[in-house]
A = this chain, B = another copy of it.
Amino acid sequence: MTTLYGAVDSVLPALTELLGERLSTASAVREHHGHDESGFKTVPPDAVAFANSTEEVSAIVKICARHKIPVIAYGTGTAIEGHVQALRGGVCIDLSGMDRIVEVNPEDMDCTVQAGVTRMQLESHLRDTGLFFPVDPGADASLGGMAATSASGTNAVRYGTMKENVLSLKVVMADGRIIRTGTRAKKSSAGYDLTHLFIGSEGTLGIITEVTLRLHGLQEAISSAVCSFPSVDDAINMVILTIQSGIPIARIELLDGLMMHAINRYSKMDYPEQPHLFLEFHGSAASVKEQAEAVQELASEFGGGNFSWATRSEERNRLWKARHDAYPSALQLQPGTRAITTDVCVPISRLAECIRETRADIDRASMPIVMLGHVGDGNFHLAILPHPDRPEDIEEAEALNHRLVRRALALDGTCSGEHGIGQGKIGFLEEQNPEGVVLMRQLKQTLDPDNLLNPGKVLRMD
């Protein structure tokens, strides 16, 4: 389907009437909304609409649909696969003003938030309830954006990803219709699973405006640890054994030597600059002790040492803040650069093989590359740091990423564990599942026949 898009002038009067000063065509505002945190080049939208309610999003979408103007949903701009660039022009809908926590139901361990609420805002709000929301991508992303990209993070090994932690969504469809995908019931087999249809659809099937989330009870005891290993291989083998032993570990994160160097510099830490695991245990006091002992024993089999423990919450927060800041830390290794990030996920039995071959590739590369990952799930990232003045670096980095994706696919893994497809991985998705992509295109064509919702992302439609 090739859509002839309209000219943005056709919608500006109606949008201005609707939004007043909350519609902007100022170039600084447009620039700001024309990129995420990836290296993909900025492509500003023609206008930015700051919406305050689902009804407003619906009204904006209806106005744009009438004139065939693309609409791109924008949360915090912290995606890293080129998700928000206005590749076909159009109107960016900034949802950051939709930052209301609609309700928290402590007895049901759920809450409903508007799409612009960020994970740290929710975390503060839940303080003193004894509950928490576990999904934690590095950035302080919005919960609507996290649902839209099917985000996860360090806790997924125990608590799951957005896929396992969203009960229901409110969504504005391409024609402005508003639908709710589920209820607050914990289980449902009432018809097709509309909730999961939109999780990970990256604003291309509908615009998520409200999210109902499962919350989890804070455990009696939480204990974090950092432990160094002689090699990445040793660390990985220890992770695999931990998972296979069924230890209900809450976090188990790998950072390689260069990553530790970057973190030391950025977060003013003084870890030995060799491969590390960052770990966390949740449970009753007795269970945390049991888990910690079991893991220390496993670690010692693989040369793991220098266990440093953090049990007080400030110490733990400092440790995990350093981990969450891995991405900006890595960028400082090559000032002025924007990273190319990889995101494969493989069955854990294939993880050692996948990482071993990837390390050989890293050793041959002509630019700095850091490795880190949610290895308990078989998911790891490289941040490849091309020199800003050497365009040939980009080509080399992309070739390395492509080899890595092919390696993961051959091991029955996926090209994207948690970052999504955006504009960066469209070709990889086609390689991964060509028949599936045909079906995805059918879904897109049905729900957005004019290709107005975030065009140019996830799928090639024109």
Contacts and interface: CB of A to CB of B under 8 A. Distances in A.
A14 interface: no
Contacts of A201: 192
Contact of A177 (B287, B408, B435, B445): B435
Interface in A127-184: 149-152, 156, 160-161, 163-164, 173, 177-184
A418 interface: yes
A340 to B, nearest CB: 17
Q: How many copies does the complex hold?
A: 2
A459 B191 contact: yes
A29 interface: no
A197 interface: yes
A416 B180 contact: no
Interface stretch (A33-41, A62-70, A346-354): A346-354
Interface string A451-462: 000000011000
A45 interface: no
B161 A417 contact: no
Nearest to A196: B196
B194 A439 contact: yes
Contacts of A439: 173, 179, 194, 447
B149 A161 contact: no
A190 B425 CA distance: 9
Contacts of A414: 182-183, 185, 187-188, 190
A188 B435 CA distance: 17
A378 interface: yes
Interface stretch (A5-13, A90-98, A104-112, A230-238): A104-112
Contact of A186 (B377, B408, B433): B377
B183 A413 contact: yes
A417 B188 contact: yes
Given A177-B435, A412-B184, A447-B442, A420 B189 contact: yes
A3 interface: no
Contact of A287 (B109, B287, B412): B287
Interface string A207-225: 0000000000101000000
A151 to B, nearest CB: 7
A109 B248 CA distance: 14
Given A284-B290, A446-B442, A429 B108 contact: no
A219 B185 CA distance: 28
Contact of A197 (B152, B196, B284): B196
Contacts of A183: 409, 412-414, 432
Contacts of A192: 197, 200-201, 205, 440, 443, 458
Contact of A189 (B150, B160, B193): B150
A382 interface: no
Contacts of A246: 217, 219
A215 to B, nearest CB: 11
Nearest to A443: B192
Interface in A411-427: 412-421, 425
A379 interface: yes
Contacts of A420: 189
A199 interface: yes
A20 interface: no
Nearest to A171: B439
A244 interface: yes
A437 interface: yes
Contacts of A186: 345, 347-348, 377-379
30 contacts: A107-B244, A107-B347, A107-B348, A109-B244, A152-B189, A177-B438, A179-B436, A179-B439, A185-B417, A186-B347, A186-B348, A186-B377, A186-B379, A187-B374, A187-B377, A188-B414, A188-B416, A189-B420, A189-B421, A190-B432, A191-B200, A191-B459, A192-B197, A192-B201, A194-B436, A196-B196, A196-B197, A286-B290, A439-B447, A442-B447
Given A181-B436, A190-B425, 10 more contacts: A177-B438, A179-B433, A185-B413, A186-B378, A188-B416, A190-B432, A191-B429, A286-B286, A443-B443, A445-B446
